[in-house]
A and B are shown apart, each in its own frame.
Chain A
């Protein structure tokens, strides 16, 4: 009985026997398993990272000291966490362009800067009055053109007004003898102003708003 197996590398199988079929099936099965495992790893990696990072952020923020953050144009204070730690206060800074633009418009329509920068001590009231007409008329024109104004309280100034509980303290300022609880009753000293609409001109991209009145040279 010849039980010794010889290894002959030059030998090639000539038919597809049962063993080889088994071998091929095993290879296919293993490679399939490998692909599935790899795929599931990739998917889980893609999904997981974000929550992980957010958690770390949160912990950082909770432990962070309250800080003053200066952000342009943000109107409301953002509530980032409800943790017992004090909220980070975000102050808004006025955009300089709009302020410069308004100055420019007042100068153009009303000679506002000229008037303010001139030493009025040297002139009589009559002369100042003449110039004040230019300024008043021009300012009035500019304000009416670029802003819509309305009063805050339409009651007559000097009349008694009653403020119900929960009134908006930014709209109405209390002065004098502030004691007790709302409703408050007092007399209206100033009716207040509010802007209801702004129609400022748009500016071209490279417009230098800092020049509120160009120097003028006549040729």
Chain B
């Protein structure tokens, strides 16, 4: 940043000289960046003399035509864009129709690119039938065709790759997906899958805007607010690996709020007021994401501050469809006495999804016939018929997923079985309301430091005053009303005013639209949500106490990055010294907390409960031998920086000569 501003100042004085210097500066940066990228790929601890070189590059080029937002969803990807060259009043978010294969040989333009990847067998696809407008032979099949082919051949289908990115315990660059596939199938890594979706969107953009390459536009990629630093880093890395070096990250709930602000056409200030706490509930296809955003005042202007984010909850609309299908399956099996085959359950899930929407949309309708068509050409002979009733939908979806619980209820967590499964850590309790209750109670003190937000002392949970919905699931009025009702019942019980619903959001496309709007906001055209890191981060260090035989040494958590650390800042811990051995990897246990706001850099915790601190993947430092002897011990201290991109960077800095080494999040890469 300093470099850039330095140049701007000079510009007024010596114009010619500046130009030359500017070029040199840029070349220098590109060189460094390239180097960094290479080193990163090799998974070595990389040297990192200037942590903010990326930021300079991002701000340097302001002559971009579009602001592009990509919603990399668990089940769908959406790309939206704004033409920045238009007058401010004419700027509108467009959603790009993404050309994609729907079946071999057929290409359709759809606003959503389903986040599925299909690993086709060579014999399965006729030659040339997977051509896309920009390539005759795409590397992977993604989008609608992947979902369609995969519904009949699930062993070759990769779904929910995004959830794997945030799954502690696996290496996201190892080919592990599809996790249930037989040996024969060449697997791919969650990282590769993310890259494939981005590549498809990039190619689609390029085909439509040949004169405006995506790498030269403002680009925002949204991630769940609950994504940990490693998952954020992987997302950015995937973008960089296909040339999108300028991509920035934005949290999805924030993006949804930006979209709402944009939809209100400047009127949002009359819908919220100082002291409001907006609860953003985002129930997508695969995940539930919760965030709290406070409305504060600064110099007479309204400000938005993201004060809390929830845990990563793998619970969404797909669970609902499955739950319905299994209910109906049980009923059918009881009636007929036979068992349904896998393909029949699949068809039933499909039928339930459509039927559920019809029941939700039509209050007169009390039951919908469901048909599981036979797979053979004899349609009439082999089809099974049953019914889905309103009572079942209410019982399974409304009561099952949004039960009327009290605010003191908590999600049920079954004790983990000793076996470590390879699957995703799906939420064990389907009650979204229970997760919400736990979140609000945990974030009880989230607004303590804000002078405009007043929470009564008797409150047992944080009282939201407004609520914004996002995600396709909450389009169903029955579900959104129920959620409002439950929340308001908690509020009324504590004599707090009912929360109001912020209307006018586009639940399917808001995240992508908000992302491209954020690109405009970054240019100073609108209000910006302040946030910083969504959690505080800790490394585990052994406490200094005499060893006790048979007992693992006590561990202390050393805070290296506080809550709400803002983008573009760095925090150093000069007093906590570590001795690192050259050439030997050193691992640290790594923790995050989304509720401990008071901890400063350098705070040591000797005790914490499981709710407060969540253990993430270990982090690792390996000091390369460059110019030093193997086995030599180098005293270092740690430093944490939040980049403008929105990722956390950890460095070990030598106490002797200020040499920096990057600390890797993704330590399992290259193991096993």
Contacts and interface: CB of A to CB of B under 8 A. Distances in A.
Contacts of B102: 201
Contacts of B403: none
A67 interface: no
B131 A205 contact: yes
A118 B369 contact: no
Interface in A122-142: 123, 127-128, 130-131, 133-135, 137
Interface-central residue, A118, A128, A130, by most chain B CB under 10 Å:
A130
A191 interface: no
B128 A134 contact: no
Contacts of B31: none
B383 A202 contact: no
A189 to B, nearest CB: 30
B103 A108 contact: yes
Interface in B370-426: 371, 373, 375, 377-381, 383, 385
B106 A131 contact: no
Contacts of B131: 204-205
Interface string A128-160: 101101110100000000000000000000000
A127 B380 contact: yes
Given A133-B369, A133-B371, A204-B129, A114 B377 contact: yes
B526 interface: no
A117 interface: yes
Contacts of A161: none
A134 B103 contact: no
B60 interface: no
B478 to A, nearest CB: 22
Given A127-B380, A206-B128, A207-B129, A134 B373 contact: yes
Contact of A131 (B99, B130, B380): B380
Contacts of B180: none
A164 interface: no
A134 B371 contact: yes
Nearest to A107: B377
A207 B379 contact: no
A117 B380 contact: no
Contacts of A115: 379-380
Interface string B619-645: 000000000000000000000000000
Nearest to A216: B375
A203 B106 contact: yes
B107 A120 contact: no
B105 interface: yes
> On chain B, which size bracket covers the interface?
20 to 34
B477 interface: no
A117 B381 CA distance: 13
Contacts of B105: 203-204, 207-208
A204 B107 contact: yes
A128 B383 CA distance: 10
A118 B378 contact: yes
Interface residues of A, number: 27
B21 interface: no
Contacts of A120: 380
Interface in A48-83: none
B107 A131 contact: no
A111 to B, nearest CB: 5
Contacts of A118: 377-381
A131 B403 CA distance: 36
Nearest to B109: A199
A131 B375 contact: no
Contacts of B354: 137
B106 A205 contact: no
Interface string B104-138: 11111100000000000000001111110000000
Nearest to A137: B354
Contact of A202 (B106, B152, B369): B106
Contacts of B128: 204-206
A131 B378 CA distance: 10
Given A131-B373, A137-B354, A123 B381 contact: yes
Nearest to B107: A202
Contacts of A111: 373, 379
A111 B371 CA distance: 13
Contact of A130 (B103, B126, B371, B375): B371
Contacts of A207: 104-106, 129
A203 B107 contact: yes
Contact of B383 (A131, A201, A203): A131
Interface-central residue, A123, A135, A202, A208, by most chain B CB under 10 Å:
A202
Nearest to B121: A219
A163 to B, nearest CB: 38
A13 B369 CA distance: 119
B383 A130 contact: yes
A185 to B, nearest CB: 38
B371 A201 contact: no
B380 A201 contact: no
A205 B373 CA distance: 32
A206 B104 CA distance: 11
A137 to B, nearest CB: 7
A114 B378 contact: yes
Contacts of B375: 216
A204 B380 CA distance: 33
Nearest to A116: B379
Contacts of B385: 130
B380 A128 contact: yes
A127 B374 CA distance: 13
B373 to A, nearest CB: 5
A206 B105 CA distance: 8
9 contacts: A108-B103, A130-B371, A131-B379, A133-B371, A202-B99, A203-B105, A204-B105, A204-B129, A207-B106
Interface of A: 101, 108, 111, 114-115, 117-118, 120, 123, 127-128, 130-131, 133-135, 137, 199, 201-208, 216
Interface of B: 99, 102-109, 126-131, 152, 354, 369, 371, 373, 375, 377-381, 383, 385
7 nearest interchain CB pairs? A207-B105, A201-B106, A131-B380, A114-B379, A202-B107, A204-B131, A201-B108
